[in-house]
Amino acid sequence: MKFRRIYILWALTALFLVGLIFYPRLVNLQPYWVLVGMTALFYAILASSWSLLAGYTGQFSFAHMAFMGLGTYAAGILIRDMGFAPWQATIGGVLITGVVGLIIGYLCLRLRAVYLALFTIAFAEIFRLVVKAEVKFTGGPNGLELPTYTFPGWLQNLLRTIVPFWDANVYIPAYYTMAFLFVAALLFMFLLVRSRFGIFFRAVREDEEAAAALGVHVVNTRVLAFVVSSMIAGFAGIVFHHFIGLIVPDQMQIGRMSLIIAMAVIGGSQNLIGAALGAIFIHFSLEWLQQIPLPTAVLQHLLFLNDWGFSVDLHAGVLRTNAWRMVGFGLLLMLTLRFWQNGLISPIIDWLARREAVESVAQRFQAERDMDAVDDVQAIGSQAEAGNPQEPTS
Amino acid sequence: MWPLPDVLLHAMHFHMWLDALFKFQITGTYIVRLILEGLLIGVIYALMALGLTLIFSVLNIVSFAHGEFYMIGGYVVYAILHHYKGFPGLLAIVVAALVTFVIGAVFERLFLQPMAKGQVERPSEYAILITFGLSFFLQFVMLGIMGPFPKKAPRFWSFPKIDLGFIRTTKTTLFLGNIPLSGGRIFAAIIALLALAAVLWFMYRTWTGWALQAVSQDRNAAAVVGINPLNMNTLAFGMGAMLAGLAGAVLVTVFSWVPWVGVPASAKSFVIIVLGGMGSIPGSLVGGLILGVVESLGTGLFPDPARAQAYRDVFGLVIFALVLWLKPTGLFGRKL
């Protein structure tokens, strides 16, 4: 059997899934690192659902985090004021997100792409400010508490049998729920973009008039992508914050939104998997970059950095870069956009997934030209023999 | 019955707004004061929106980093006045304008010029993301340098003592009859008016201004008569950034400054350019004044003073939604 590149992709996918399942074991069940893994998956869902909208329909929503927060606050208020159970509130929150997304979508998506970007950036910031101010209703800057999910008894027992360390710490059930949601969301979006709707999305992005002429309803297609993407964000937010137990308005600030965009673009916003992997990669890098260990001898010479907002901790032997790591990713975002518009991860996936041709078009073209040249030479030769020299035409 | 959320109660009991009129003894004088305050701040909004309009009309993109130039303009004035005591404030404002101009022009050369030269795929999407990336970058650079705590520049001007009966001044306040107006805002509005006049003079009375207008009307025709559109792009983006920087520089003595202060400011200029019509200079001037007055009236008449400030920006969002719904071309816009 001939070796094909696609086998590498399958092997990597299998490796990733195994890693996803055994990750808590790999980090020795330390609660902090299980939480980091769970948060990385949360950001991965957000980044890939953002890239569903941006990479496939060419519309940019800067309110993705705001929709995440909107769904979560809606769910929290349904539970607190109206006595919903957490799972009912989850469905309710997702539906409310969808309705708001529908209204904003129909308002903006009739117009050029920039209008959605303009409106959502204003909506996101103002929604955050209002949530912060409505202290009686939303808890204000201190946030809104959400109860954690309780699994039904039979499911709990089943999971305990499958995962022996299920009760080792509170983040393990959260991690596995998030991992399940991550796989389910990616699968759903993957099937969506493989369906006829995915073709509509790309058709509308490439040429609006041509798509409309072929019978695609341009506005409805865009609104569908926007609503689905927002609802997935809302769903991820609700589940994540139920396990965290608290949502604060600053979770929706524009800096977080920028980070989601950086994740999606650096991973590759044309590819759902690329965006998700970008998010996981960036989230773990951020954790690692929070404190860079350096020898004290080096740190002594870096003390001047304290004037520029770094904090050089000679005692602990680390350089803390809380704001500056984000500066680095901002710069990486701009450079990626400028020089590698398809992102850094998705070209690799695309290359692995591309079917290898037995003979490339260029090779065939070259071969045909060689054949033509041989013919020409023969023709000239025969003409010369006939005593009638003539310029070859091709 | 389910207990209704607070927000819905507000919407239902609209007469509370009417009650507020009597509770706070809202009189004609109060309304006039609110309108005057709105016009003062509206001039500065108009200055910012004019920068965005300039960028849009020449480069045909919207700069999502506009608020960050506003933020940097303010921080430059703050840093100069903080480190050099007795530095003339007006000169600090000029320095802020130069710094923001240079940052804008350099960014344009490095990241937007490849777009104008056709070296980038999907230019309209690239423009949105790259300017947003710049705003991300600048916000965290300033967070790194300045830290997250609010800063406020010292006051560097004071009114001369005037008493003309109707118009009186104290050191920091101007009274029109019995209406007090904050001196900081008047000072900022005067500088903004001067800057507006200078920009309009530049646009309509100088060769370079005509060249900018020519490029915004037809790039190819402009190139035929010897105008380099690439240089005009750089100039327009730098000037747009400079106008935002100026708006920040004059307001840093009025508001306290944090690295993300530019986000609501840029949201306001987006509302204004959509309200006035994308790319229309008179539209951005009128839109700025309208937004200033609407915000001021809405905030001043809001029934609950404790939350009124947080709702200041909501009125802008409502205007935005109404314009998108009813007249997406805006007040003065021609085409979409």
In a domain, A353, yes or no: no
Which among A115, A262, A309 has the least Cβ separation from residue B147? A309
Confidence (pLDDT) at B6: 54
Token digits of residue A121: 């950036």
Q: In this structure, is the dihedral angle defined by the CA atoms of residues A284, A289, A291 and A292, taken in order, positive or negative?
A: positive
pLDDT over threshold 50, residue A49: yes
Token digits of residue A142: 């201190």
Domain boundary, last residue among A299, A314, A340 = A340
Contact with chain A for residue B3, Cβ under 8 A: yes
Nearest-by-CA chain A residue for B120 = A338
CATH number at residue B187: 1.10.3470
Token digits of residue A298: 């080096």
A244 and A333 in a common domain: no
Neighbour-count burial for A110-146, b at 16+ CB within 10 Å, e otherwise: bbbbbbbbbbbbbbbbbbbbbbbbbeebbbbeebbeb
Q: In this structure, is the dihedral angle defined by the CA atoms of residues B246, B134, A59 and A67, taken in order, positive or negative?
A: negative
Q: What is the mean pLDDT of residues A247-264?
A: 91
Contact with chain A for residue B141, Cβ under 8 A: yes
Q: In this structure, is the dihedral angle defined by the CA atoms of residues A341, B69, B265 and A254, taken in order, positive or negative?
A: positive
Token digits of residue A358: 């037995």
In a domain, B315, yes or no: yes
Phi, psi of A183 (to 5 degrees): -65, -40
Adjacent-strand bridge partners of B163: B168
Any idea which of A137-146, A190-199, A372-381, B252-261 has the lowest mean pLDDT?
A372-381
Domain boundary, last residue among A317, A340, A363 = A340
Residue B16: which pLDDT band, with cuts at 50, 70 and 90?
Answer: low
Confidence (pLDDT) at B14: 55
Contact with chain A for residue B300, Cβ under 8 A: no
pLDDT over threshold 60, residue A126: yes
Burial zone of A14 (CB within 10 Å; 0-12 exposed, 13-18 middle, 19+ buried): exposed
In a domain, A349, yes or no: no
DSSP B261: T
Task: Determine which helix (DSSP H) or strand (DSSP E) holds B173, and give its type and residue range.
Answer: strand B173-176
Any idea which of A25-34, A337-346, B156-165 has the lowest mean pLDDT?
B156-165
Contact with chain A for residue B318, Cβ under 8 A: no
Whether residue A130 and residue B321 make contact (CB cut-off 8 A), yes or no, is no
Token digits of residue B116: 């104008």
Number of domains making up chain A? 2
Which among A58, A118, A129 has the least Cβ separation from residue B274? A118
pLDDT over threshold 70, residue B54: yes
Which among B136, B320, B336 has the least Cβ separation from residue A330? B136
In a domain, B335, yes or no: no
Contacting residues of A for B270, CB less than 8 Å apart: 118-119, 121-122
pLDDT over threshold 70, residue B334: no
Best interface-test mutation with B: which of A56, A103, A129, A286 has the largest number of B CBs within 10 A? A129
Tokens 């989850």 sit on residue: A90
A335 and A226 in a common domain: no
Whether residue B328 and residue A136 make contact (CB cut-off 8 A), yes or no, is no
Query: A152: helix, coil or strand?
Result: coil
A328 and A224 in a common domain: no
A169 and A55 in a common domain: yes
A216 and A91 in a common domain: yes
Contacting residues of B for A333, CB less than 8 Å apart: 133, 136-137
**Domain residue limits at B256:** 22-326
Number of domains making up chain B? 1
A230 and A324 in a common domain: no
Helices and strands, counts by H and E, chain B:
15, 3
Q: What is the mean pLDDT of residues A190-214?
A: 90
Contacting residues of B for A111, CB less than 8 Å apart: 324, 328, 336
In a domain, A134, yes or no: yes
Whether residue A341 and residue B121 make contact (CB cut-off 8 A), yes or no, is yes
Confidence (pLDDT) at B24: 55
A98 and A167 in a common domain: yes
In a domain, B3, yes or no: no
**Domain residue limits at A326:** 290-340
Any idea which of A134-138, B71-75, B223-227 has the lowest mean pLDDT?
A134-138
In a domain, A374, yes or no: no
pLDDT over threshold 60, residue B12: no
Which is more confident, B238 or A114? B238
pLDDT over threshold 90, residue A95: yes
Distance from CA of A43 to the nearest CA of B (A): 17
Whether residue A123 and residue B263 make contact (CB cut-off 8 A), yes or no, is no
* DSSP string of A54-120, one letter each residue: HHHH----S-HHHHHHHHHHHHHHHHHHH---HHHHHHHHHHHHHHHHHHHHHHHTTS-HHHHHHHH
Confidence (pLDDT) at A189: 94
Which among A137, A326, A337 has the least Cβ separation from residue B7? A137
A162 and A143 in a common domain: yes
Between CA B4 and CA B1 the distance in angstroms is 8
In a domain, A369, yes or no: no
Between CA A148 and CA B243 the distance in angstroms is 49
In a domain, B79, yes or no: yes
Q: What is the mean pLDDT of residues B32-44?
A: 92
Contacting residues of B for A115, CB less than 8 Å apart: 274, 324, 328
pLDDT over threshold 80, residue A361: no
CATH number at residue A264: 1.10.3470
pLDDT in tens, A179-196: 999 999 999 999 999 999
pLDDT over threshold 90, residue A270: no
pLDDT in tens, B310-331: 788 888 899 999 998 888 888 8
In a domain, A244, yes or no: yes
Question: Average pLDDT of chain B?
Answer: 87
Contacting residues of A for B139, CB less than 8 Å apart: 254-255, 258
Contact with chain A for residue B53, Cβ under 8 A: no
Any idea which of A256-270, A299-313, B103-117 has the lowest mean pLDDT?
A299-313
pLDDT over threshold 70, residue A360: no
In a domain, A9, yes or no: no
Contacting residues of A for B61, CB less than 8 Å apart: 114
Confidence (pLDDT) at A320: 82
In a domain, B8, yes or no: no
Confidence (pLDDT) at B1: 40
A275 and A322 in a common domain: no
B235: left (phi over 0), alpha (psi -120 to 50) or beta: alpha
Residue B336: which pLDDT band, with cuts at 50, 70 and 90?
Answer: very low
Single out the residue of A63, A241, A73 nearest to residue B5, CA to CA. A73
A187 and A84 in a common domain: yes
Confidence (pLDDT) at A393: 52
pLDDT over threshold 90, residue B180: no
Single out the residue of B92, B113, B94, B68 nearest to residue B236, CA to CA. B113
In a domain, B239, yes or no: yes
Q: What is the mean pLDDT of residues A73-80?
A: 93
DSSP B328: T
Which is more confident, A306 or B263? B263
Which among A82, A122, A262 has the least Cβ separation from residue B267? A122
A180 and A70 in a common domain: yes
Contact with chain A for residue B11, Cβ under 8 A: no
CB–CB of B150/B97 below 8 Å? no
Confidence (pLDDT) at A370: 78
Q: What is the CA radius of gyration of chain A?
A: 27
Percentage of chain A lying above the pLDDT 90 cut = 49
A205 and A312 in a common domain: no
Contacting residues of A for B135, CB less than 8 Å apart: 258
Distance from CA of B137 to the nearest CA of A (A): 5
pLDDT in tens, A221-234: 999 999 999 999 99
Nearest-by-CA chain A residue for B319 = A119
pLDDT over threshold 60, residue B13: no
Percentage of chain B lying above the pLDDT 70 cut = 91
Whether residue B128 and residue A129 make contact (CB cut-off 8 A), yes or no, is no
